[in-house]
Chains A and B, each alone.
Chain A
Amino acid sequence: MFQVRFHGRGGQGVVTAAELLSIAAFEQGRHAQAFPTFGSERAGAPVTSFCRIDDHQIRVREPVSEPDALIIQDPTLLHQVDVFSGLAEDGYVLLNSSQSFEELGLETLIAGLRPGRYMTIPATEIAREQIGRPLPNAVLVGGFAALSGAVSIEAVAKAIHEKFSGSIAEKNVRGARAAHELVAGALAEAAHA
Chain B
Amino acid sequence: MLRQEEGSRAVAESVALCRPKVISAYPISPQTHIVEHLSDLVRTTDLSPCEYLMVESEFAAMSAAIGASAAGARTYTATASQGLLYMAEALYNASGLGLPIVMTIANRAIGAPINIWNDHSDSMSQRDSGWIQLYAESNQEALDMHIQAFRIAERLSLPVMVCMDGFILTHAYDEVDIPDQKAVDDFLPPFEPRQVLDPAEPVTIGAMVGPEAFFEVKYLAHAKQMQALDVIPEVAQRFAIDFGRPSGGLLREYRTEGAETIIVALGSVLGSIEDVIDEMRQAGIQVGALGIKSFRPFPLEEVREALTGASRVVVLEKALAVGRGGIVSTDVHEALHGTHIRCNTVIAGLGGRSITRDSLHGLLERAGRDELEPLSFLDLKTELVEHELERAHRGTPSGPHEQNILNEIGVVAARPH
Direct contact of A and B (CB under 8 A): yes
A126-137 CB mask vs B (1 if < 8 Å, else 0) is 000000000000
Q: Are A60 and B272 in contact (CB under 8 A)?
A: yes
> Interface size bucket, A side?
20 to 34
Q: Quick check: which of B14-22, B169-177, B211-219, B333-341 contacts chain A, the rest being far away? A: B169-177
Q: Which of B167, B174, B269, B270 has the most CB of A within 10 A?
A: B174
Q: Are B171 and A35 in contact (CB under 8 A)?
A: yes
Q: Are B173 and A62 in contact (CB under 8 A)?
A: no
Q: Are B173 and A38 in contact (CB under 8 A)?
A: no
Q: Which of B117, B173, B272 has the most CB of A within 10 A?
A: B173
Q: Are B117 and A38 in contact (CB under 8 A)?
A: yes
Chain B contacts of A62 at CB under 8 A?
A: 272, 354-357
User: Which of B4, B6, B30, B116 meets A32, CB within 8 Å?
Assistant: B4
Q: Are B174 and A60 in contact (CB under 8 A)?
A: no
Cα distance A131–B171 in the bound complex, in angstroms: 27
Q: Are B272 and A59 in contact (CB under 8 A)?
A: yes
Q: Are A23 and B272 in contact (CB under 8 A)?
A: no
Contact A36 to B171, CB < 8 A, known contacts A23-B4, A61-B268, A62-B355: yes
Contact A32 to B354, CB < 8 A, known contacts A19-B6, A60-B272, A61-B272: no
Q: Which of A18, A31, A60, A63 has the most CB of B within 10 A?
A: A60
B330: min CB distance to chain A, Å: 25
Cα distance A17–B167 in the bound complex, in angstroms: 17
A49: min CB distance to chain B, Å: 10
Contact A34 to B173, CB < 8 A, known contacts A22-B4, A65-B356: yes
Cα distance A63–B355 in the bound complex, in angstroms: 9
Q: Are A59 and B173 in contact (CB under 8 A)?
A: no
Cα distance A119–B171 in the bound complex, in angstroms: 30
Q: Are A61 and B4 in contact (CB under 8 A)?
A: no
Q: Which of A18, A27, A60, A62 has the most CB of B within 10 A?
A: A62
Interface assignment of B180: CB less than 8 Å from any CB of chain A: no
B211: min CB distance to chain A, Å: 49
Chain B contacts of A61 at CB under 8 A?
A: 165, 168-169, 172, 268-269, 271-272, 355
Interface assignment of B275: CB less than 8 Å from any CB of chain A: yes
Cα distance A32–B176 in the bound complex, in angstroms: 11
Within 8 A of B (CB), among A97-123: none
Q: Which of A22, A31, A65 has the most CB of B within 10 A?
A: A22
Interface assignment of B274: CB less than 8 Å from any CB of chain A: yes
Interface assignment of A26: CB less than 8 Å from any CB of chain B: yes
B348: min CB distance to chain A, Å: 12
Chain A contacts of B6 at CB under 8 A?
A: 19
User: Which of B117, B172, B270 meets A34, CB within 8 Å?
Assistant: B172
Interface assignment of A33: CB less than 8 Å from any CB of chain B: yes
Q: Are A33 and B173 in contact (CB under 8 A)?
A: yes
Chain B contacts of A63 at CB under 8 A?
A: 354
Within 8 A of B (CB), among A71-90: none
Chain B contacts of A38 at CB under 8 A?
A: 30, 116-117, 167, 171
Cα distance A32–B4 in the bound complex, in angstroms: 8
Q: Which of B4, B30, B269, B355 has the most CB of A within 10 A?
A: B4
Q: List 21 A-B contacts (CB under 8 A).
A: A19-B173, A22-B173, A23-B173, A25-B4, A26-B3, A27-B4, A31-B175, A33-B173, A33-B174, A35-B168, A35-B172, A38-B171, A59-B138, A59-B270, A59-B272, A59-B275, A60-B271, A61-B168, A61-B169, A61-B272, A65-B356
- Beyond A26-B175, A35-B167, 9 additional contacts (C-beta under 8 Å) are A23-B4, A25-B4, A35-B171, A35-B172, A36-B167, A59-B272, A60-B275, A62-B356, A63-B354
B-binding residues in A (CB < 8 A)? 18-19, 22-23, 25-27, 31-36, 38, 57-63, 65
Top-7 shortest CB links A-B: A59-B271, A26-B4, A35-B172, A34-B173, A23-B4, A61-B268, A22-B173
